[in-house]
Chains A and B, each alone.
Chain A
């Protein structure tokens, strides 16, 4: 229970803490791991040598992301009418689907909820409870994909020491979430939608490009030259809304301390490295730990980990199988 609450606090911006108590099993595992330093180093190098760099989950994810967005596009262009609308709200084979954050903004701004809006929102809520909350970000959001590509450029520039990453406080996103909610209530307009690159890109793909893409372009420039993945990390309220859904999601990435060499490769590729704080030596207090609600379930860490210490798992289901 305390981890549950800690993980929510971390999502809202708190820094991860060292555990106060480490379970006996984990103590034993850590003792055995480091008992023989030479063996540990040898095993580590062995695991590295045999690690086939895989992009399995990344490729699957990109395929899904493109497929979903193209389904929107072709439903309109070719008049297939399977998935009509845009990411903010749509109809899949006639069933209403409404993005949770867009719905929230509309409800706060308009202060009147009709049945279809409620049904669509509830359906999408259920879907993302099952599929992992913030998996919306990495598996569906078109801005995520663009930002992922420009992130590579940013990292190259950092490597060449042309730019440095300026980190902001992660709590800023929580403040933004509250601010955008407040602005919607007070002004009566869906203020966030004006800047939302998710909505802008989705509409641009389906209905054709516009000047709004200029704003998305500026955001990407900001991320390339100033701050790595700044929008997703420090601003976007959509991420926090879906993060809240992910609190109760059974689908998550779990960490198995027994197989971990505590090298930190996973944290380097992660959009939200604070969820991987447990992989730091001495931070894990249980043998198996779910990464928590802020994890986008993107699978980059799963691909990167040479020892299989990080895995996709469905709570409850894995035990059954």
Chain B
């Protein structure tokens, strides 16, 4: 060790009055400094591990309605969960530490519980304190192509109200028939009974049952000649239709077609009775004509 305080400061300045540090003390101070450096590097490094889940190639999360684009959403969300608290069907969950920087950020697992807009006014947006969920994006943030809705979506439940539309300018994703081979309509099959079985806990608002209150999906019994559950359940006017026709053998069949008003709420994915769902939401995906 060559560490010792020089008795005379360089440049001919008067010698410092401090006694020279003992070797042991200097070593201790050095060790403490190095350990503190280690702590700083270690904890900062750990915090940056939060990047990994973002650069991961795993599918994008479906965010609540009104969410900013992903990067802006993650930065502006304050991770408080006020959106979780106001959702009448508890569609919104908070991500765990496995989401890295996305920890505590809300998402929707549509297959388990989709956003069915049974709050009528997109309460989660109202609850958000930071503008991560917003009715109106700041002007400097552009909407990606295909994200902007052509017109304010009409909520079927409010269709007869004075103000039938949802205050939602951009979609959060878009539905896609991902597994046409398993779609009951395409196979020309009907459906009878509980959409997702007796143990499914998801909720949905059925206008025929109660205009104001969502009920468990298992408490509702469907009966259709050609399965059209996605169309029946869709809360948005004109977002999806099951086109009925005849196949080449003259048997009746249907074809689910997603239209531009689809906001990506995920109700079709939730009620789709086959496992895994034939129709899914592409989260954060734009509408492509």
Contacts and interface: CB of A to CB of B under 8 A. Distances in A.
Interface string A37-71: 00000000000000000000000000000000000
15 contacts: A84-B85, A90-B80, A99-B78, A106-B77, A106-B130, A114-B130, A168-B36, A168-B39, A169-B33, A189-B74, A189-B75, A190-B77, A193-B104, A199-B79, A211-B98
Interface string B46-87: 111111001000000000000000011011111111101110
Given A168-B36, A189-B54, 7 more contacts: A85-B85, A90-B82, A106-B75, A188-B75, A191-B101, A207-B94, A234-B36
B35 A168 contact: yes
B151 interface: no
B138 A210 contact: no
Chain A interface, >50% SS class: helix
Given A117-B129, A212-B103, A166 B47 contact: no
Among A112, A116, A120, find the residue whose CB has the most chain B CB atoms closer than 10 A: A112
A166 B85 contact: no
B47 A89 contact: no
Contact of B40 (A90, A110, A172): A172
Contact of A120 (B54, B75, B79, B129): B129
B36 A203 contact: no
Among A184, A191, A194: residue with most chain B CB under 10 A: A194
Contacts, number: 153
B75 A210 contact: no
Contacts of A206: 81
Interface string B176-195: 00000000000000000000
A189 B36 contact: no
B36 A89 contact: no
- Considering residues B74, B84, B130, which has the most beta carbons from chain A within 10 angstroms of its beta carbon? B130
B71 A188 contact: yes
B32 interface: yes
A189 B101 contact: yes
A235 B78 contact: no
B20 to A, nearest CB: 18
Interface residues of B, number: 42
Interface stretch (A175-183, A252-260, A276-284, A306-314): A175-183
Interface of A: 75-76, 81, 84-91, 96, 98-99, 102-103, 106, 109-110, 112, 114, 116-117, 120, 166-169, 171-172, 175-176, 179-180, 183-184, 187-195, 199-200, 203, 206-207, 210-212, 214-215, 230, 234-235
A67 to B, nearest CB: 19
Contact of B43 (A96, A112, A195): A195
A110 B72 contact: yes
Nearest to B94: A207
Contact of A203 (B40, B46, B104, B138): B104
Contacts of A76: 85
Contact of B81 (A103, A168, A203, A215): A203
A85 B49 CA distance: 27
A58 B78 CA distance: 31
A215 B86 CA distance: 29
A203 B102 CA distance: 14
B40 A179 contact: yes
Contacts of A187: 51, 101
B100 interface: yes
